[in-house]
Amino acid sequence: MYRAMKADGTFPRTGASAMALGARTPNDIPVDAQGRVRPGTGGMSVRPRITDIPAMFLPRRLKHLNRNAGGSESTVVFRFGAVNASFAAAPVAPALVLKPDADNHGNVEPRHEMGFDAYQAALHATREGWRNGESDR
């Protein structure tokens, strides 16, 4: 799975923004009055292929993949998992699961009900599993 994010060294920057490894509330996932998130309600957006990343987020240097690429040159397209891995519902980490919602989009959701801070920490804990995927085909 792929996601365009700002880099912090060779890994993605963590945080609660559209261009970081993490989720935003309520944009990405709703949080209830007790500060909890649930499976099936959304999560951090990911794509099955680098070419599925919207042009507005795809760095301009990748125009060879999409002629409309207009994203910031400071953005990197990171990959989690194997190149050409199946994009199907599956565990991502102990507390996280990938849930595709279209052929070209999915969410990394909480695997079970948990506090938003725990969910965010679980996403951040995957940081060292993300690799620069810009040369993937």
The model's pLDDT over 26-55, given as tens digits with 9 standing for 90+, comes to 999 999 999 999 999 999 999 999 999 999
pTM metric for this prediction: 0.94
Mean pLDDT value of segment 95-119: 97
In a domain, 123, yes or no: yes
Per-residue confidence (pLDDT) for residue 137, from 0 to 100:
65
Amino acid at 129: G
Residue 17 has pLDDT above 70, yes or no: yes
Q: Is 121 exposed, middle or buried (0-12, 13-18, 19+ CB in 10 A)?
A: middle
In a domain, 137, yes or no: no
Per-residue confidence (pLDDT) for residue 31, from 0 to 100:
97
Domain span at residue 121 reads 2-132
How far from chain centre, in Å, is Cα 74? 17
In a domain, 35, yes or no: yes
In a domain, 103, yes or no: yes
* H helix or E strand, kind and range, residue 116: helix 116-124
Mean pLDDT value of segment 117-126: 98
Nearest to 15 by CA among 128, 95, 121: 121
Tell me the average pLDDT of the chain: 96
